[in-house]
Amino acid sequence: MCLQLLANFYTFSPYFWLKQVLSGSNVTTNSSKTVKKDHIFYIEIRLAKRPGVKKQEEGMKKVLEFPEAQVLSRQIRECLSGKEIKGVIVGQSPHKFAFFTEPENYPFLLEGKKIKTAEGSGGFLQISVGDDVSLLIGDGGRVRFHQPGEKLPPKHQLLLKFNDGSALTVSIQMYGMIFCQKDEDIDNRYVLISREKPSPLSEKFNHEYWEKLIGENKPTLSTKAFLATEQRIPGLGNGVLQDILYRARVHPKTRVGCFSPGDRENLFQSIRATLEEMVEKGGRDTEVDLWGNYGGYKTLMSKNTVGLDCSECSTIIEKQSYMGGSVYFCPGCQPVKK
């Protein structure tokens, strides 16, 4: 696949995502092509015209965002902590958009060591192995735990075999990262940002921080661009954005400069309340957990509800393409402000 720089492409597309992943460590694809540190590439636009890409784009919806990173990390802490890694298989199924850091070193870094803990950092899942190694999984990485004797998926990009016969697989959907590094070597800019910025559920994410965040950005930015790009709030992506905006009664195309004091307060409260509920209920009903079960949070604005009546005003829920992805909204409850 040819790689070329595209200066003016959608900033919320998978092509822009590569900019995030490749900003930091040298990374390697299944085709053994190394992408040098600090270089930013975009997959050429012809990819969008390839047969079957429509089906792939549906798979893009199953991505790690804040709730899923929190849920998966909690489940791993509860069920995998203390398990010893007996064997490691990397890149069994070729995938041009699965990115690794020196995959030939993964067995050396992981085998014979135990899962220590796990945590969600923005939209990244970090699994700590031994005393000084981290396994970082982002975006399209689908993580599954398998009991002893359970049939493994035929395709996967990472397989960890534990000494009790159980296993963990990571399969990349469309695009994603599976980095394995010593903690001291982690230098991916977006991973570091996700650690430095306050979690939206922490005390540091308060009114003062929220107002400062709004003031730092151009008033011409749309609400979607403001909240779901550039990691302004790490882990808040296009998926969780939909319900946040619906609950706040804000249209995704409304510009930041058009926010009323009420809009600002409603968005602040909605971010915290919506993400907290998603985490407490085991993730969204459009995403799966460590065992492949869908989350218990029933999405209000998603592919599951488009075309249905809004529960508040009975207006038909709509779907539109915007900024390289889909947005779902109620025209009655979320009018565009200009």
Q: Which of 255, 238, 253 is nearest to 303 (CA)?
A: 238
The alpha-carbon radius of gyration of the chain (Å, integer) is 20
Q: Which of 83, 91, 177, 190 is nearest to 129 (CA)?
A: 83
Residue with tokens 């107002």: 211
Residue 155, classed as helix, strand or coil, is coil
Is residue 57 a contact partner of residue 130, using CB atoms and an 8 Å limit?
Answer: no
To which CATH superfamily is domain 66-194 assigned?
MutM-like, N-terminal (3.20.190.10)
Q: Which of 27-36, 59-68, 70-79 has the lowest mean pLDDT?
A: 27-36
Show the DSSP H helices in the chain as ranges: 14-21, 53-59, 66-79, 106-110, 189-196, 207-215, 223-228, 238-248, 261-280
pLDDT in tens, 97-149: 999 999 999 999 999 999 999 999 999 999 999 999 999 999 899 999 999 99
Q: How far is CA 269 from the centre of its chain?
A: 22
Domain residue ranges of the chain, discontinuous segments joined by +: 3-57, 66-194, 197-329
* Mean pLDDT calculated for residue range 43-55: 37
Is residue 301 a contact partner of residue 243, using CB atoms and an 8 Å limit?
Answer: yes
Quote the pLDDT of residue 220: 95
Determine the Cα–Cα distance for residues 259 and 278; give it in Å rounded to an integer.
Answer: 25
Determine the Cα–Cα distance for residues 218 and 92; give it in Å rounded to an integer.
Answer: 45
* Mean pLDDT calculated for residue range 66-75: 97
Residue 59, classed as helix, strand or coil, is helix
CATH class for the region spanning 197-329 = mainly alpha
Is residue 8 a contact partner of residue 83, using CB atoms and an 8 Å limit?
Answer: no
Mean pLDDT (the chain, rounded): 85
At residue 61, what are phi and psi to the nearest 5 degrees? -70, -25
* Mean pLDDT calculated for residue range 5-18: 39
Q: Which of 13-22, 92-101, 294-303, 323-332 has the lowest mean pLDDT?
A: 13-22
Same fold, 66-194 and 197-329: no
Whether residue 195 is predicted with pLDDT greater than 50 in this model: the reply is yes
